[in-house]
Chain A
Amino acid sequence: MPAVVIENVHKRFGDNEVLKGVSLSVEAGQVVAIIGRSGSGKSTLLRCINGLEMCQSGRIEVAGHVLDQDPKHLRELRKDVGIVFQSYNLFPHLTVGENIMLAPRLAKGLGTAEIRKLAVEVLAKVGLSEKFDAYPDNLSGGQQQRVAIARSLAMQPKVMLFDEVTSALDPELTGEVLVVMEDLAKAGMTMLLVTHEMNFAKNVADVTVFMHQGKIWEMGTSAELFAAPKTPELRNFLSAGVH
């Protein structure tokens, strides 16, 4: 069974229809990159998957949870679906360790010793073991984003969503975040990522989806899609070089 099933999803903000019937299926362990211009609906699609935005029609099923409005169902879904944001969104008043341990304690009710072990583990995974007691403000953007990834991982999600996670970073800091994501992909995590990093999509994603005007315009294996784009819109997008 696929890890993510999106069927004919429509989403409007007022009169503006942002998603015009999107269907997509992601197998467990697959890495799917979503590319496209600003305003093509790619971030909205991602945010619909964990219920941060509610779509008006269509059906979304993630990690065995069917998305609906019930807060309790949403929490169950979100325990299995992590998301990392463009602006990191770490909690500024908590240390790195506390940021990571908060949700496993509150949402999953795990014991203190277990949570601490988990936090140390995920922090090691993103290469920031020594920052356990630091405050987010004392970290670089790249480090903050790696902590955000660790915080998400501590919930032991089945699916991870990445919403333009390197867009706020300098080029040299982008690399360290992409390395962490590549490791995750290799470890078999199911990942959906909205990205402007074409090389990352080409080299790491199994499938790349090109969104245009609220629709999936073109999709295929990353190798095919980048080597031989079929639609003029994608050719334009790829050759423009400005993403």
Chain B
Amino acid sequence: MAAAEHASSKDKAKDKSQDAATTWHGIVLQTLKRNEIKLVPYVPDRVLTTLIKDLHADPYFTTFPTAREEEAVGIVSGAWMAGMRGAVLMQTSGFATLANVLASLAVPYQIPLIMFVSERGTLGEFNYGQALVCRTMRPVLDSLAMEHHTITRLDELEFIADRSIKQAVTTQAPVALILSPLLTGGKTFDK
């Protein structure tokens, strides 16, 4: 019995380490950790479920939901100015609420705001509202000349996320990392 339990916990540990290397959410979590990003407020999204669950399970992170995305931006901005690094998780429609705070806080104050945006509204979207709001995201980012990358491939995720976080911190500029359905599988009507 004890041996069986031991074996099963060993298997679980093995699964976890495989997760870290082979799943997009495992790579994101490890990349956050490697870059000493401890504070991760979020407004949830179905696609982000496993990542959020794993962040909560890991005592390294202080992670919690906020009522609005801009609230989370305010929190990580304050924390960064006081010496703690953070990142915000959201979905496309949440990003659409951020134009004011990006233009009045993150960009002019030169705050390295790191955002992970789970992309809805494309590649099989079933909600017309999501499809429309998605089209506002890149024009808003471009209009503020903000760095952003759309991550589509698992083998490029770590490079893009790690380098982008380091660039945000060293150049004191916000960055949006858009997690494409090509990477995450996205949300489809039958899910």
Asked if A and B bind, the verdict is no
Q: Which residues of B contact A (CB under 8 A)?
A: none
Q: Which residues of A contact B (CB under 8 A)?
A: none
